[in-house]
Amino acid sequence: MNFNKTYAAGIVLLSAVIFSAYQKAALPGKSGDPVFDNLDPSVKPGDNFFLYANGGWIKRNPIPNAYSSWGIGNVVGEDIRERLRQINEGALKANAAKGTTTQKIGDFYYSGLDTISIEKEGTNPIKTQLDMIDRAQDMKGILAASANLSQYGVRSIIGARVGQDEKNSVKMMLQLGQAGLGLPNRDYYFKTDARTTRVRTDYQTNHLPTMLRLSGRDADRAAKGAESVYKIEKFLADSTRKLEDLRDPYRNYNKMTVAKLNKLTPAINWNDLFREMGYKPVDTVIVGQPEYYRAVNKALTTFSIDDWKAYLRWKTVSAYASYLNKAFEDESFRFSGKVLAGRKEQLPRIKRVTDTENQLMGELLGQLFVKEYFPQASKVRYNQMVEAMRQSYREHIAKLDWMSPATKQKALAKLNAIHPKVGYPDKWKDFSTLEIDRVSYAGNVMRARHWAYLNNINKLGKPVDHTEWGMTPQTYNASYSPSNNEITLPAAQFMIPGIKDADVDDAVAYGYAAASTIGHEITHGFDDQGRQFDAKGNLKSWWSKLDSAKFTQRAQMLVNQFNGYVVLDSLHINGKATLGENIADLGGIVLGIDAFKKTKQYKEGRKINGLTPMQRFFLGYALGWLGHTRDEALANQILTDVHSPGFLRVNGPFTDVPEFYTAFNIKKGDKMWLDPDKRVRIW
């Protein structure tokens, strides 16, 4: 397509105007020290270490209206967005050949900023899908429509994907999990506290009918359709597992033949449905939650065709609302952004488009990102840090007084087998079949989602690709895969905005990166879930019964500790649901301490800005959780997330660590004091 210089100039001007929104909060501050500048000296370290470490920054940086929280992740995110903006602007001007990475990046960006065309399109980008739903005459037609929609990112009653067989990690299997809900999880349909009730009421009486009306239904039909949608979702929610119950890998592993699955759900012919979904013929599937699919079967015979048409229409417009006209986008934000997360206003459009592009085409952007922003020296530093943490873990396992020699040997074998992916992939995904143009923003999103869907289903029956990354290099996050027994550590996760990696002292780096990220992810291989997988990534018992019992006893102490934390109103931390993350936090800290003790900086003991090396280590860890959150988002997190809020990911595990008490002279009577016999020690 020819490059429209006049319109592109308008987009570039728009980008320049919005550029000011990219200016990040100061981090670090005047001294250039990423931990000293954040301190709040008015808070005693022993009363609330999180606020002592981060309170100065929090006071200077209120949550912007467009965000539900604001902290280190957001500041890194703003830095990354600005770098991606520069990549996008360059691609926009390049007039690159069709099919090239630069053409796809530039054209996607262009289509997202072309609000004139987006407004003119209205619901046309999803008209084919809506018409297909309207044509359904029976339940076979409803299931066929659901199967088709799933290929374009519309998640309805069937939660299917291809993934590794947890008991045979070399095989890629078709797997079914619970799906179908519009609210964040089952608790939103049943909890009766005032906060959750307000969300549920808005959803039923405001959000659902508004979205259906925007899709083309008159007010009466939209209201009736909203009732149908909610009835179906609540029915399914009643047979949906709770957050903590999804963390039991054995209970959520139910392998069965397709013939048995057909008997479980006689209203569904799975052979036909899988074919409609584009899967190769299969004879066996893994079903995570059989009771959910029994409920789906009953729902198909309980609710009317018109009920299901309303439900699928809602799922379709909900999945694409953010990429349609302003009315759709505004209502989607009003509920998801304001009601659920407490945000006051939307992000500028340029940021929303960049975020969407990053989600859908992240590795295309990532190839350009790492060339500019992640030097080889950083990759070397963090690979070395991985090995330092691995060695620390070896030493900890060897010294354990509660684990038998036989189990220790197997634990060491698993630890040694963990494969680290650091910085960026050695092999990039092939996006050559993805077509991107300047005609339709929603159309580009639809094709990108379909590309991702095909990328997943085509793995069925093929060998596991251990070179593939599940995150992009510019992602501020990290992960552990139990089936691959590997950790993924993207380049962005190591970034501290405003300071070069080479200028970050080891004390801060070992707290910020080694403890809170590398050690955390390695420990996931040995948390309450990860420990149930062996060195090859198979769900298999490799612990002695006595060792397992001792581990469970220690883990229960951590459950009890976190159950006791009241976060908001009457909302407590769910110690069982957050156990894996809490174990990994504590493990990362204790491993990081001993790895740091081997460094030159620790041994020399020199203070920087009046802070000892060990104090800087703890402050570096706290820096990883710097930030604050709106109450609405915090309530949502407590109900839906297996991670504790950031302030408790600092204050919680620190109370279990002896070196913390020594470093900051914590005494009995201080608020964070925990008697030694109540301190949890697992690793």
3-state SS of 61-94 is: CCCCCCCCEEEHHHHHHHHHHHHHHHHHHHHHHH
Per-residue confidence (pLDDT) for residue 131, from 0 to 100: 98
Nearest by Cα to 335 from 431, 429, 202, 232: 202
Q: Please, which pLDDT band fits residue 13 given cuts at 50, 70 and 90?
A: very low
Lowest mean pLDDT among 104-113, 169-178, 247-256, 370-379: 370-379
3-state secondary structure of 360: helix
Distance, in Å, from the CA atom of 450 to the CA atom of 169, rounded to the nearest integer, reads 26
What are 519-566's pLDDT values in tens digits? Answer: 999 999 999 999 999 999 999 999 999 999 999 999 999 999 999 999
Per-residue confidence (pLDDT) for residue 314, from 0 to 100: 98
CATH fold for domain 386-419+494-678: Collagenase (Catalytic Domain) (3.40.390)
- Rounded to 10 degrees, what is the CA torsion of 183, 184, 188, 193? -120
Q: Residue written as tokens 């620190």?
A: 654
Q: Does the pLDDT value for residue 25 go beyond 60?
A: no
Q: Residue type for 614, please?
A: M
Distance, in Å, from the CA atom of 334 to the CA atom of 323, rounded to the nearest integer, reads 15
Q: Does the pLDDT value for residue 582 go beyond 90?
A: yes
Per-residue confidence (pLDDT) for residue 504, from 0 to 100: 94
604: Cα separation from own chain's centroid: 39
Q: Count the alpha carbons within 13 Å of 148 in the hemisphere toward its beta carbon.
A: 17
What are 383-427's pLDDT values in tens digits? Answer: 999 999 999 999 999 999 999 999 999 999 999 999 999 999 999
Name the token pair of 396: 């900890």
Nearest by Cα to 92 from 101, 102, 84: 102
419 forms beta bridges with 486
Distance, in Å, from the CA atom of 166 to the CA atom of 538, rounded to the nearest integer, reads 5
Distance, in Å, from the CA atom of 265 to the CA atom of 293, rounded to the nearest integer, reads 7
What are 52-85's pLDDT values in tens digits? Answer: 999 999 999 999 999 999 999 999 999 999 999 9
Q: Please, which pLDDT band fits residue 373 given cuts at 50, 70 and 90?
A: confident
Q: Residue type for 346, please?
A: Q
Per-residue confidence (pLDDT) for residue 2, from 0 to 100: 40
Contact 72, 27 (CB under 8 A): yes
Q: Which residues contact 672 (CB under 8 A, 6 or more apart)?
A: 45, 46, 47, 48, 49, 651, 654, 655, 666
Q: Does the pLDDT value for residue 24 go beyond 90?
A: no
Percent of the chain topping pLDDT 70: 96
Q: Which residues contact 386 (CB under 8 A, 6 or more apart)?
A: 420, 422, 487, 489, 518, 522
Mean pLDDT of the chain: 94
State the pTM of this model: 0.91
Arithmetic mean of pLDDT, 610-620: 98
Name the token pair of 298: 């009953």
Per-residue confidence (pLDDT) for residue 84, from 0 to 100: 93
First to last CA, the chain: 59
Per-residue confidence (pLDDT) for residue 19, from 0 to 100: 34
What are 487-516's pLDDT values in tens digits? Answer: 999 999 999 988 888 899 999 999 999 999
Nearest by Cα to 102 from 113, 90, 110: 90
Q: Which residues contact 2 (CB under 8 A, 6 or more apart)?
A: none
Q: Does the pLDDT value for residue 1 go beyond 50?
A: no
Other beta carbons within 10 Å of 139: 15
Nearest by Cα to 362 from 448, 276, 241, 488: 448
Q: What distances in angstroms separate CA 35 from CA 42, 45, 173, one per listed residue?
A: 16, 14, 46
Per-residue confidence (pLDDT) for residue 377, from 0 to 100: 87
Other beta carbons within 10 Å of 350: 23
CATH fold for domain 135-145+152-323: Neutral endopeptidase; domain 2 (1.10.1380)
Per-residue confidence (pLDDT) for residue 498, from 0 to 100: 87
Long-range contacts of 593-596 (CB under 8 A, 24+ apart): 593/515, 593/617, 593/657, 593/659, 594/392, 594/395, 594/396, 595/385, 595/388, 595/389, 595/391, 595/392, 595/510, 595/514, 595/519, 596/506, 596/507, 596/510, 596/511, 596/514
| DSSP characters over 565-613 | -EEETTEEP-TTTTHHHHHHHHHHHHHHHHHHTTSHHHHH---BTTB-H
What are 627-648's pLDDT values in tens digits? Answer: 999 999 999 999 999 999 999 9
Q: Does the pLDDT value for residue 7 go beyond 50?
A: no
Longest dimension (CA), the chain: 77
Arithmetic mean of pLDDT, 128-154: 97
Lowest mean pLDDT among 134-138, 282-286, 364-368: 364-368
Domains of the chain, residue spans: 135-145+152-323, 386-419+494-678
Measured at the alpha carbon of residue 139, what is the angle toward residues 133 and 141, in degrees to the nearest 5? 40
Name the token pair of 4: 């429209």
Q: Does the pLDDT value for residue 208 go beyond 90?
A: yes
Distance, in Å, from the CA atom of 399 to the CA atom of 483, rounded to the nearest integer, reads 27
Per-residue confidence (pLDDT) for residue 375, from 0 to 100: 82
Distance, in Å, from the CA atom of 632 to the CA atom of 424, rounded to the nearest integer, reads 35
Name the token pair of 290: 């059989």
Other beta carbons within 10 Å of 671: 12
Per-residue confidence (pLDDT) for residue 17, from 0 to 100: 32
Q: Does the pLDDT value for residue 94 go beyond 90?
A: yes
Query: Which DSSP symbol is given to 126?
Result: G
Nearest by Cα to 448 from 119, 12, 109: 109
